Each structure stands twice: as structure tokens, then as C-alpha cells.
């Protein structure tokens, strides 16, 4: 049996636990997030030729000029999304291979995810099925538009960098909700967190990151 389908084996489990310990040393404090990171089989979401590197703290190519984020970035964004509390409904912009989506699905009741590339949407659907993730609704579409029919969302998570926040997405946040996204300013990117309050929106700049850009349209 290949590593791709042997995620329940002891070797893979030990490898995931080493990854979790590394995440803890890197500053991830949310024990629920750490537990989920140890449960989700990251090797199912990368090409089989790269499966042996799945639990290293690196991003990996997934085709079509896209990447799967490194585990620390996924854990950090999930930690910021949870903010220590339970989540009901989450919107993800940029499904990619489906890994961040699978992690969010373990900490939220319902995840909606939009991917602009049709072939990646199909791959993510298969990966999520292989990982037995059932509380996710995938859509092929332009992430700038979000999913207004499912709004409002507790959290909107963007996995591609932008220079401005699409107004449509801000409007789909519930009051008390948060948007976590990489913001590009000049030559640098930072994770940003926008919170919607009854009075408007507040923004905080967080960690330095490196994401592919958020593109309009579909492909």
C-alpha cells in the first residue's frame, strides 16, 4: 500500500505528531488547532511524488502555478479564525488542493469554498472525499464575489494575496465576524485580520507571509 493511502499507519502518525510539536514550538497555542493539524492527512492533498515531504514546514506545488501553504501558515490562519471559539459557517476564498479547507472543516460546522480554476476544484473535491470530509461545499467561481446566498459568515478566509479587500466579501461577514487574508503592500505581504463590528470594520496587521496573488475571473 502506498503512503498516499496509508495515513492511518504508525509511521505517518508519528510524522504528523512531530509536525504538531514543531507547530507548538513555532508559537501555535490553540490546542484544538494543534489536534486538528495532527488529524488531517496532509499527504492526501499533494501529488504522490511529493507525499514524503508532506509534513515538512514548506509549501509545495500543486500545479497550475499554485501551492499548498506550509503547515505553520495553515495552523496560524486557523488559529486566527477560531480566536478561541467555535465556528458555525466559514467561507474560504481559494480552495487550492483542499488542505486548508479540510482543516477548517474540523473546527467549523459548515465550510463554503470557492476556487477559480476548474481543474483544481475537481482535484480538491477528490482530495476531500479521500479524506472523508463531508461538511464542505465547493464552488467553481470568482472568489471576489464570495457566496452571497450562504452569507453571513463567521469567518472569511482568503488563501491568496490581495492589494485591496473586495467590498462584496466585507458585506458577507456577520457582525462580530472576522476576515483573515494576506495583504500585499509594496514588496511585502502580511496576514491581516478585519473584524466587523456594529460600528464598522477594524483591521490588524499580523505575521509576514508569502502567498500567490488573488486573481479575478475563472479558468
Q: What is the mean pLDDT of the chain?
A: 92
Residue 3 pLDDT more than 70?
Answer: no
Q: What are the tens digits of pLDDT across the range 147-187?
A: 999 999 999 999 999 999 999 999 999 999 999 999 998 88
Cα distance between residue 14 and residue 20, in whole Å: 10
pLDDT value of position 59: 93
pLDDT value of position 8: 44
Cα distance between residue 23 and residue 73, in whole Å: 10
Class of 3-208 per CATH?
Answer: alpha beta
pLDDT value of position 6: 44
Q: What are the tens digits of pLDDT across the range 127-153?
A: 999 999 999 999 999 999 999 999 999
Q: What are the tens digits of pLDDT across the range 18-61?
A: 999 999 999 999 999 999 999 999 999 999 899 889 999 999 99
Please tell me the total number of residues recorded for the chain in this structure: 219
- Residue of 12, 69, 113, 192 marked catalytic: 69
pLDDT value of position 2: 38
- Tell me the three cell numbers of residue 162: 490581495
Query: Which residues, 6 or more positions from 208, have their beta carbon under 8 angstroms from its beta carbon?
Result: 188, 189, 190
What's the maximum distance between 2 C-alpha atoms anywhere in the chain?
Answer: 56
CB atoms within 10 A of CB 37: 26
Residue 104 pLDDT more than 70?
Answer: yes
| Terminal-residue alpha carbon distance, the chain | 35
b/e 101-128 (16+ beta carbons within 10 angstroms → b): bbbbbbbbebbbbbbbbeebbebbbebb
pLDDT value of position 1: 34
Q: What percent of the chain has pLDDT over 70?
A: 95
Question: Could you tell me which residues are beta bridge partners of residue 2?
Answer: none
pLDDT value of position 13: 82
Which sequence spans correspond to the domains of the chain?
A: 3-208
pTM of the model: 0.91
Residue 69 bears catalytic tag: yes
Amino acid at each position: 500500500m502506498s503512503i498516499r493511502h496509508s495515513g492511518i499507519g504508525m509511521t505517518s502518525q508519528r510524522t504528523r505528531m512531530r509536525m504538531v510539536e514543531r507547530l507548538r514550538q513555532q508559537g501555535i497555542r490553540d490546542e484544538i488547532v494543534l489536534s486538528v493539524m495532527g488529524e488531517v492527512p496532509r499527504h492526501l492533498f499533494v501529488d504522490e511524488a511529493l507525499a514524503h515531504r508532506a509534513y515538512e514546514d514548506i509549501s509545495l506545488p500543486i500545479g497550475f502555478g499554485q501551492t499548498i501553504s506550509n503547515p505553520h501558515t495553515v495552523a496560524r490562519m486557523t488559529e486566527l479564525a477560531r480566536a478561541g471559539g467555535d465556528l458555525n459557517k466559514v467561507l474560504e476564498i481559494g480552495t487550492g488542493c483542499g488542505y486548508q479547507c479540510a482543516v477548517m472543516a474540523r473546527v467549523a460546522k459548515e465550510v463554503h469554498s470557492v476556487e477559480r480554476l476548474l481543474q483544481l476544484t475537481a482535484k480538491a473535491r477528490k482530495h476531500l472525499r479521500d479524506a472523508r470530509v463531508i461538511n464542505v461545499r465547493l464552488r467553481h467561481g470568482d472568489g471576489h464575489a464570495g457566496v452571497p446566498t450562504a452569507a453571513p459568515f463567521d469567518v472569511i478566509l482568503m488563501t491568496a494575496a490581495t492589494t485591496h479587500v473586495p467590498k462584496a466579501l466585507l458585506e458577507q461577514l456577520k457582525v462580530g465576524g472576522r476576515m483573515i487574508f494576506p495583504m500585499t503592500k509594496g514588496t511585502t505581504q502580511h496576514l491581516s485580520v478585519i473584524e466587523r463590528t456594529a460600528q464598522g470594520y477594524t483591521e490588524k496587521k499580523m505575521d509576514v507571509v508569502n502567498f500567490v496573488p488573488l486573481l479575478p475571473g475563472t479558468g
